[in-house]
Structure 1
């Protein structure tokens, strides 16, 4: 059951690129609309789960709010970069590249910094799993030299790759920050472990302030970097609240899984990225992104490698 719960983020996050493309809008409108949806979900989680179960003092602890807001700020960088990458590369290409980068960063940060890979066997098989996921992500994004040239003026592979690199760094810090600040002592063991040592209250309490940080960070990026302040509140922004709700559902279950000792940060973050299968084939069959027969073969083989790598990662605890 723990693994099934940990797979909910994969379904939700794998759908984000598809949903936001359907909702339309610029990268700035998509980012801002998504944060509004995340804010709505975060407030509901705070008021209707954390406060009734953990108490108001816990829910509004100043250190938890610092962790949440900073996590939300770096998430905003990740999301803006991802949406720019989707615009420049397409969802079926951008999604696996984003996924591969996140899996490398998150798994290695959780393993090396958080100390979740404790034996030589875990490092060996964990590294093989990461390699499989990365190879799979590369295969799903390989171009076919015989394919017709794209006529879309927005296509810019190098620009999209840079955007995805920045996105990966933002998402990596967003994922690992709540547990990293516990490991460094900023969050006490008592605060982190409530109510039963699992960290469930801490991880869910982070979601509310995190959503506020997401909104603040996205406003700053949209206004000062994307220069889209004139179109921030058009219909496309409000439509993308749906995107934010889909993402937020995955976010809550990812943090719950990361707090579960039977899953852990490295496994939870890796399994959350299995949504690459949803993103790749959703981009092809739902959004109509064109693939040649060779590219379809690459996508199928690549997706299998990603899934196998994720399954291997999920079972490292048995070694």
Structure 2
């Protein structure tokens, strides 16, 4: 998805609208095929959570333009893993027992070390500033809420496909609100609608995540989805031609390896 939006271009308003419209199309198709039942409260709650997800994604799109896909994605992955793990432990009772907590903390330290390595830059202009990191961290809160969504009792009582359409509708609603308040001209721009291609693909990925969560559990499914950092990081370098020196590439490869090891290790906590 970030590679396609990077190629298509456009403003963050163009990109988030494309994601919202594309995912809603996928949601409508799934709804018509599966005909799931969902109560009104869960339906509305899913719309709100989908809208909050747009905060995290808008933060990513803005960061892609500021520091590039290959720098944004590893950092975003770390923020998501650490934040969701902390919420899981404090609120949802994950990592029960001393041994699990030790394994989890060590794994997260490995992930953080990996992110620090990927942020190494030889050029002052290419460095991730504290301001860039804090902006991405604050917007990642939207991702934390969305990822915690399946653990809420009212949603647990529903099937994954029953809340899929309202989630996707929430993303589109959030995207439209963002566009109306920040860039009304975006609705007339070609990139606004070309980015729907990326939205269709993200919608398929989101649907796949639902089935993975049902088969493997929410925590394991979320962790494995974060391994997309490999595709996004190296895709940003090769497809979007984001330059990295030989030294930066060595640190990036080492950092990605640590993020992958740490991500997988959290599943043993």
TM-superposed deviation, 1:112: 2.8
Mapping 1:118-129, distance limit 5 Å = 118-129=96-107
- 2:188 is equivalent to residue 210 of structure 1: no
Counterpart residue number, 1:284: 237
Structure 1 runs of 4+ off > 3 angstroms?
147-150, 155-160
Gaps of 5+ in 2: none
Gaps of 5+ in 1: 1-15, 193-201
Counterpart residue number, 1:244: 199
TM-score (norm 2): 0.93
Counterpart residue number, 1:170: 142
Mapping 1:1-319, distance limit 5 Å = 16-49=1-34, 51=35, 54=36, 58-59=37-38, 61-144=39-122, 147=123, 149=125, 157-179=129-151, 181-182=152-153, 186-187=154-155, 191-192=157-158, 202-224=159-181, 227-260=182-215, 263-316=216-269
Q: Deviations over 1:114-136 (max 9, x none)?
A: 22322221111111111111211
Counterpart residue number, 1:199: none
Q: Following the alignment from structure 1 to structure 2, what is the Cα–Cα distance between the partners of residues 114 and 71?
A: 17
Q: Deviations over 1:226-283 (max 9, x none)?
A: x2111223210111111111211221122322333xx322222222111111111111
Q: Is the 8 A contact 1:96 1:137 kept in 2?
A: yes
The two structures, once aligned, show a CA RMSD in angstroms of 1.9
When the two structures are aligned, how many residues end up with a matched partner?
A: 269
Q: Following the alignment from structure 1 to structure 2, what is the Cα–Cα distance between the partners of residues 89 and 281?
A: 15
TM-score (norm 1): 0.79
Distance 1:299 1:148, change over 3 A: same
TM-superposed deviation, 1:67: 2.4
Shifted more, 159-168 versus 65-74: the winner is: 159-168
